[in-house]
Amino acid sequence: MMRTADLVSSASRALRSNPLRSALTALGVIIGVGSVVAMVALGSGAQAQVERSIASLGSNLLIVVPGAQATGGVRMAQGGGGRDTLTLDDVEAIAGLEGVLAVAPSQRGNAQLVANGVNWNTRIEGVTPSYMLARDWEVAQGRFFDESEERQARRVVVLGATVARELFPNVDPIGQAMRISGGSYEVIGVLESKGQSGFGMDQDDVVLAPLTTVKRRISGRFRRADTVSQISVKAASEGELNRLQEDVENLLRDRHRIRPGDEDDFTVQNLSSITETAAATTQVFTYLLGGISAVSLLVGGIGIMNIMLVSVTERTREIGLRKALGARQSDILHQFGLEAVTLSLAGGIVGLALGVAGAWGMTSLFNLPLVIAPQNALMAIGFSGLVGVVFGAYPAWRAAKLDPIEALRRE
């Protein structure tokens, strides 16, 4: 009976005797593992980016917008593009619901900005001080306007990072004057950067001003005085979000006198539900990429089986001699099985390294976070070893079954 150490030594010598063939045999596994690791990492990075982008809009957040329209059977929010159905009284009523941490009405519009000799067209958001809490936003420079300035419709603005960079590239924007729709406004703050949202919108390309200022002096001049284009509702905890969404919907249906069976004149968007849907979609995409790449592992396994069968044919006399000297069928079986597993595992390790490098390159190219879960890497290595076991089993069994007398007669 051969010792394990002897089996390992014999298998190693057999693989080293023809290094080029061994490398080419493992190539299929290298490509398979590398592509699986890279594609799964790319999909996971895309999923993390989507989740991060949507989360940047605010945590535990409901967004209420006026109206709804059907597009291909899917209800889509109009975002203020339809009738003005949300009012400041609705805001006060929502604030009285249980589990509400903050309610922030907003009025959206677009305007041409002029400052520091530069023109810039962007969106204007008229908000209240509670907007910062509801949307989890912070001020990077200066300050945010207070309730007194909001009530008095003061001409003060807080710039998004993109607007500040475009209008004041080499100047401290705090205290500077800018013109919006023909009026002069003072810059009192700059928001911290949030980057792209999950919907492809630059969240930093915005100017925040007091709600009363925007309604009286900018976009609100053409709308009813008591309406708003959006209401942000922040729940006290994630566990209360679904219940709060139902409460908000019931409250608004009652306030707007919507009869049972009639379509709502508003839409409540639950960002947590959107995040879960986006994550599930991206997860399916990740599995699809990984499944397609795993076909390479199957091809690699077939390559290993083919080469091992050739090796059995070439080493028939060696097998016969070993059996004649006392080697058992199990010894031959283990030796050839060990060679197949070693080839496959070596290919898996090299493929893992190449897959990580490829994932880093692709995520850097597409500006995605690099996400490689340790369990996925271990699974790739384990699966490559399994490929060696499965596809090396038949050649090993064929070698073990050779008759020693017939094997010694082979030329």
Strand ranges for 150-223 from DSSP E: 156-159, 177-180, 183-191, 206-210
Which H or E run includes 213? helix 211-217
Q: What's the CA gap between 165 and 186, in Å, rounded?
A: 16
Tell me the pLDDT of the chain (411 aa) as tens digits.
Answer: 445 565 566 666 766 777 877 787 788 888 888 888 888 888 888 777 776 666 666 668 898 998 764 444 344 444 444 467 899 999 999 999 998 999 999 998 888 999 988 899 999 999 999 999 888 899 999 999 999 999 999 999 999 999 999 999 888 999 999 999 888 999 999 999 887 765 557 888 999 999 999 988 887 555 567 889 899 999 888 788 889 999 999 999 999 998 888 888 899 988 776 666 666 777 777 777 677 767 777 778 888 888 888 878 777 777 777 777 777 787 778 777 888 888 888 888 888 899 899 889 888 887 788 888 788 788 888 888 888 888 888 888 888 887 776 766 665
pTM of the model: 0.62
| Total number of residues shown for the chain | 411
Decide if 29 contacts 344 (C-beta within 8 A).
yes
Distance of alpha carbon 88 from alpha carbon 226, whole angstroms: 6
- Which class for 120: exposed (0-12), middle (13-18), buried (19 or more C-beta within 10 A)? middle
Task: Give dist(CA 256, CA 252) in Å, integer.
Answer: 6
H/E stretch holding 402: none
Give dist(CA 297, CA 348) in Å, integer. Answer: 10
- Whether residue 232 contacts residue 134, with contact meaning beta carbons closer than 8 Å, is answered with yes
Q: Which residue bears the tokens 């900005």?
A: 113
Q: Is 218:181 a contact under the CB 8 Å cutoff?
A: yes
Strands (E), 271-360: none
**Pairwise CA distance, residues 297 & 26, whole Å:** 10
